[in-house]
Chain A
Amino acid sequence: MEPIIEVENLTVVYNLGKTNEFTALANNSLSIYKGEYIIIFGPSGCGKSTLLYSMAGLQKPTNGKIKVANRILSELSPKELVKFHQDVTGMIFQAYYLIPSLSVLDNVCLSLIFKNIKVKERSQRAKELLKQFGIEQCTYRLPLSLSGGQQQRVAIVRALMTDPPIIFADEPVGNLDSKSAEVTMELLDELNKKYNKTIILVTHDPSYLSKADRIFHMRDGRIERVAVNESGKKIAPMSKESPVSDILSSLAQRYPTSSEIELKSKALVNWLVTVLDEPRIARIEEIIKKRIKGEYTQDTLHENLNLSFEKGGAGLYAQRATEFTKKIEFVLMEAGNLHKTIKPTVSMTEDDLKAVEIRKTLLDRYHGELTLDQINRLDRFIRLRIENMINRAQFLKYLDLPFKAGGVGLNHRTAHNFTNLIEIILINI
């Protein structure tokens, strides 16, 4: 399936060449597919709105290419760009931007006026939509006489008048009370699920993240990571380069403002830890974060895990500190080995080789014996997991399933251990 939006190496620099030059977006690439509900999430100033407006054709890139609905935006003439906005995009802004001197009806009909649609036809369409969104009683009123929630609903109707396939929404509920915000978000949800509109929404509020199919987490002008909502629609093909770890996705939903390194650290701690108190867990996370970043060596890692809590360490007994260090180093080493350049051959692709390496790692820790056919089948499922063709739960199921039923036929405990280990290795690659 071709994406409806493709962004390649997008950079936007404001005030280029001047003393107040500012890079709002730095070399970002992404693909969005028809019918997806995408949320662009991050702190203020991270470039979310710049990215949104760039895709909507309202912000010119400094570098890079943007293709929307088969149109390369930089190649459009001014007239073609207008047509693009009329036919392809619907915009919803935080501040509504309704024209205060025009009635609600005239506000929503504006786009069709410029398309030379006759009065009767555009009025009929407007009234149908206003009714559908529960604000037909506002048809002839001026915008400022409406509540914030009503105004935003008018803005949504305006965005839909030309029946665009893509809706761009920049903090659409930022100015609304919680009830109106809920109604607005439900409307957007309906547009996506019932009318198959592609929704791209910018927000800094983590409470809405569960609405999206995918979330682009941004920080400092870059898309830091892309999280897949496990309960969302799976329209986008899974990335071959970075398999989505279910552990990382579910952690990202619980800690949406955490960076990727913080999430990896949490995942490692969860894997290691049985019963530890919260402050100690937080301390271990901090220590592991420094190891992942390379600020600590293996020895410093061990030292700090063992150092007393009062002195800034994790306060683990020496034996436990050694055990944790070994396990952390093992995962990071295996992930590092897999990250090294693996030269694909004619018969074995890079993913094949990764699967073989991971299988070797798993079997080295497994003292049982698998038959040749079990090894072959295990490789196949590992490759499917690396390529994200199966998720974590499916991988576990296949490892556990008897061989004759199409699985690998591992015992239940080994299947669980293998699954957890492969997930931890994959998120650290």
Chain B
Amino acid sequence: MWKQPYFVIGFSIIAFFLIGSFVYEWIWGNVPRQIYYIMEGGRAVEGAPISPNWQFPLGSDEFGYDLLGKLMLGAKYTILAALAVGALRMLIAVPLGYILGTYLDKHRKWISSLADSMHYIPLTLFAAFVLTPVLWMPPEGFTNTIWERIGIQVVIMALLTVPIVAILIANEAALLRDKEYILAAKTLGAGRLRIIRQHLYPQMREKIAVLYGQQVMETFIVFAHLGLLKLFLGGTKVSYDPMFGDPPMSISYEWAGLFGSTFRYLQSAPWLPLAPVLFIGLTIFAVSLMMEGYLRSKNPKVKKLRKAKVEEPLVEWNREQLRNNMVRIKEQEMVKAEE
């Protein structure tokens, strides 16, 4: 696994963001540097938001905070939350799927059509609908801490698509269960639990790993979508002041919030919403690199097989030649017949 360049590149991108995030906070504290205007030859040439330049690679936001610093500080919230959502979802869905696929196989059909109805509800919409009471600050303020809210959000988002993932695993397990070697194990007296542990799980380990990667990628997308709806990771600070209310704000510097609260600056300061989305895209890309690397390390045959196939000698029928030969043979026969 560690010899696969794809895996290593993907892993190092994510590790860079995570370690960088903690190191940044450790060195510079949890407030990014702030600058109100740039001086050049004794005159202010640009006020906040400052466009990207060498000193501030990603520019600054409307209050003059360094955007790169904000993104680095926020990386840990977004990435860890997405990884946690995927992990929790798999932890619930995998055993559930196995139980559905083995013990409750008779009921699998109707449960799967119930879970199938989830496919008609857009995930973002569903998440927004269910999470609004958790994340939108009520007028009297939040009653729980930010970590509690992040925890609740992770649990709810994990639960949202558990039915779909569980059914996927159940169907896969049911397919495998009809294989001969499992029938043989059954005949030898293996119980269901043993079959799951010894046969089904090892067979499906790769599929489960890929599924986990897909869940993490999906979670990143949903986070970004929720950001657009002003539902930020760990809660949205809403100002209920009717006159001078601030726009809804994110409490931490997580990426969905950085994107969602700056989306309206798309035309005037495009780097503000673009940079967080680019970072999200980069992380998703890193996850897909890791998945590909993992798969390649598990099936190195793929490459060899392909090579072998290419080197196979191709017999090209030369039609012209064939025809000439046929004509010649025919002519010889005719000559013989005449003789």
Pair from one complex: no
A-to-B contact residues, CB < 8 Å = none
